[in-house]
Amino acid sequence: VVVEDQPDVSAVLSAYNQQGDPALYEEYYSGLKHFIECSLDCHRAELSQLFYPLFVHMYLELVYNQHESEAKSFFERFHGDQECYYQDDLRVLSSLTKKEHMKGNETMLDFRTSKFVLRISRDSYQLLKRHLQEKQNNQIWNIVQEHLYIDIFDGMPRSKQQIDAMVGSLAGEAKREANKAKVFFGLLKEPEFDVPLDDEDEEGENEEGKPKKKKPKKDSVGSKSKKQDPNAPPQNRIPLPELKDSDKLDKVMNMKEAARRVRLGPECLPSICFYTFLNAYQGLTAVDITDDSSMIVGGFADSTVRVWSVTPKKLRSVKTAADLSLIDKESDDVLERIMDEKTASELKILYGHSGPVYGTSFSPDRNYLLSCSEDGTVRLWSLQTFTCLVGYKGHNYPVWDTQFSPYGYYFVSGGHDRVARLWATDHYQPLRIFAGHLADVTCTRFHPNSNYIATGSADRTIRLWDVLNGNCVRIFTGHKGPIHSLAFSPNGRFLATGATDGRVLLWDIGHGLMVGELKGHTDTIYALRFSRDGEILASGSMDNTVRLWDAVKAFEDLETDDFTTATGHINLPENSQDLLLGTYMTKSTPVVHLHFTRRNLLLAAGAYSSQ
């Protein structure tokens, strides 16, 4: 079966035709290895980056030209020299032993079509070039020119630590150009409206008898969004939905809650409330919690979506059309009257998907719910009627994650077809397709200003996309395994990412730099969330723990001068232990989701596993 959307396979592979003498491959490779290992320490770390891409290309060249025994011996002799974080790739590679195997293997084809990027200082590069040209080692030189992209920078060579921090993705590091574009990471200005006062507020705090409290209260909440943030995108850069009256009421509620918010910090850690799904033999695969923490949804492997109310208020559906026509539309409590008390229950089950549900997301106004599934669809459900409104079909393969924009209306999905798609609830077709990842898009998140989307992938990179034009504006490399969680800081400046390698990496979006690494988890990190004011980062993992990190300290006095940005000489402080504020174990429950309430109580969720 010819897969249409692949680049023409034979054309891609034919690049392997200009082959050298198969018997000499081991000699070429060990010659280079000897040269690099004997070079000066300052160059050795940089040049060692060549081992892996050359190893892969030389092996594939041997396989493609049907020198199977030479390929096998080449693999056995040198695969042990590769960095430990390439183990999974090498496992795939070792199973490709015949030319026919190469045709259907997508990872393989990607490796072929995209150039592997290495960042090397000019001195190290000159040294390599001289060596290969003196030795007339054309085979290796051809591969370097054909399949590698060497991003040369002027200045000191990088140390082993600096290189190790940044490498490990399927296609090497990001080119420096990839992170140069301007990103508007600031927040949009909040619309202004007065906060009406509760009676209780007035009694308690208005001793002077002057009803002047309204002004300062609004200031305390709205002051930071009054001035236009210099790094914010223009308000109308992308069209956002108008605020409805109900949204304004919700914003007012939000401000009142915010006034009672606990200021977190190293001395004041949040309480954590853990929702454990017991007897979830259906297999819990996704969780989301509404912004106001009133509802929780679970996506399950038995293809159901289950919505619970976590407040005493039960979930109710709207009455039938016949009953609705009897209601007096002018009455004050019309919104109450349209709900059917007979349908009140704590749990609603939504049927419709035909495969495990991998992602769920509530709309900010709590009227809708998204779910995405292995069946290749994203479904939009009404939380008024608890029925499915639309099925969005665009991905032909499993959809791993979906999320509503913080402003509603738009949502993003990412899946096995290696692209993320941007949708609007009222369009059947996606508005944007974000293509560029070399493997599954495993998680998707909107930036707080809704102008950008971050995607994490099994190719071990994170990309930031511009919603306006679909361009990729940042590529972050450094994780050594597929990415499973993303979180933007509330001020929009930073991104935290978690992966199967158990590390949380911190990124400065404006400068396009890695600025921190939090080590501590021993398994995949499935959940990351910043507290409401960004003081604390919470991470939840398959290792059955929730960890709290000091985000203020992690991001203070960063070295983001132009030199660092230009060369990628990042110096990550080894300070995970100083930043770790607490580790909280569950008995046997992997943490799938984290959520800070509007008052900074941390909610966590996961399904108890008995093994």
> What percent of the chain lies above the pLDDT cut of 70?
87
Give the mean model confidence (pLDDT) for residues 492-505: 94
Give the mean model confidence (pLDDT) for residues 543-554: 93
Residue 502: strand, helix, or coil? coil
Predicted pLDDT at 223? 42
For 100-131, write each residue's pLDDT tens digit: 777 777 667 677 777 888 888 899 999 888 88
Least confident of 169-183, 407-421, 515-529: 169-183
Predicted pLDDT at 568? 61
> Which tokens hold the place of 476?
């972050």
Give the mean model confidence (pLDDT) for residues 174-187: 88
Report the distance separating Cα 489 and Cα 529, nearest Å.
8
Q: Which contiguous run of DSSP H or E holds residue 361? A: strand 357-362
> What percent of the chain lies above the pLDDT cut of 90?
45
Least confident of 82-91, 251-260, 560-569: 560-569
Report the distance separating Cα 314 and Cα 319, nearest Å.
15
Examine the pLDDT at 557 and tell me if it is beyond 80: no
Report the distance separating Cα 596 and Cα 603, nearest Å.
6
Examine the pLDDT at 400 and tell me if it is beyond 90: yes
Examine the pLDDT at 220 and tell me if it is beyond 50: no
Binned at pLDDT 50, 70 and 90, residue 205 comes out as: very low
Predicted pLDDT at 561? 57
Binned at pLDDT 50, 70 and 90, residue 84 comes out as: confident
3-state secondary structure 112-124: HHCCEEEEEEHHH
Higher pLDDT, 563 or 462: 462
Q: CATH number of the domain at 272-320+346-557+571-606, please?
A: 2.130.10.10
Predicted pLDDT at 338? 81
Domain coordinates in residue numbering, the chain: 16-173, 272-320+346-557+571-606
Question: What is the distance of C-alpha 433 from the center of its chain?
Answer: 17
Handedness of CA 478, 479, 481, 487 (dihedral sign): negative
Q: Where are the alpha helices (DSSP H) in 243-337?
A: 245-259, 321-324, 334-337
Least confident of 11-25, 302-316, 371-385, 489-503: 11-25
Predicted pLDDT at 341? 82
**Taking CA 369 as the corner, what is the angle to CA 366 and CA 374, rounded to the nearest 5 degrees?**
160
Q: CATH number of the domain at 16-173, please?
A: 1.25.40.500
Instruction: Please identify which residue in the block is written with the tokens 């709309």.
Output: 363
Q: Which residues contact 430 (CB under 8 A, 6 or more apart)?
A: 392, 394, 421, 422, 423
Report the distance separating Cα 231 and Cα 220, nearest Å.
22
Alpha-carbon distances of 172 from 45, 443, 452, rounded to whole Å: 15, 20, 24
Binned at pLDDT 50, 70 and 90, residue 376 comes out as: very high
Instruction: Identify whether the C-beta of residue 409 lies closer than 8 Å to the C-beta of residue 240.
Output: yes
The mean predicted confidence, pLDDT, of the chain is 85
Examine the pLDDT at 452 and tell me if it is beyond 90: yes
For 354-363, write each residue's pLDDT tens digit: 999 999 999 9
Give the mean model confidence (pLDDT) for residues 561-566: 55
Predicted pLDDT at 41? 84
Least confident of 61-70, 424-433, 503-512: 61-70
Binned at pLDDT 50, 70 and 90, residue 565 comes out as: low
Predicted pLDDT at 531? 95
The candidate with the shortest Cα–Cα distance to 610, out of 206, 277, 120, 175, is: 277
Examine the pLDDT at 207 and tell me if it is beyond 60: no
Q: 65: which DSSP letter?
A: T
Predicted pLDDT at 60? 85
Instruction: Identify whether the C-beta of residue 447 lies closer than 8 Å to the C-beta of residue 471.
Output: no
Examine the pLDDT at 460 and tell me if it is beyond 90: yes
The candidate with the shortest Cα–Cα distance to 303, out of 398, 383, 215, is: 398
Q: 265: which DSSP letter?
A: B
Predicted pLDDT at 162? 84
Higher pLDDT, 168 or 549: 549
Predicted pLDDT at 17? 53
Least confident of 237-251, 496-510, 571-585: 571-585
Higher pLDDT, 328 or 10: 328
The candidate with the shortest Cα–Cα distance to 526, out of 483, 579, 584, is: 483
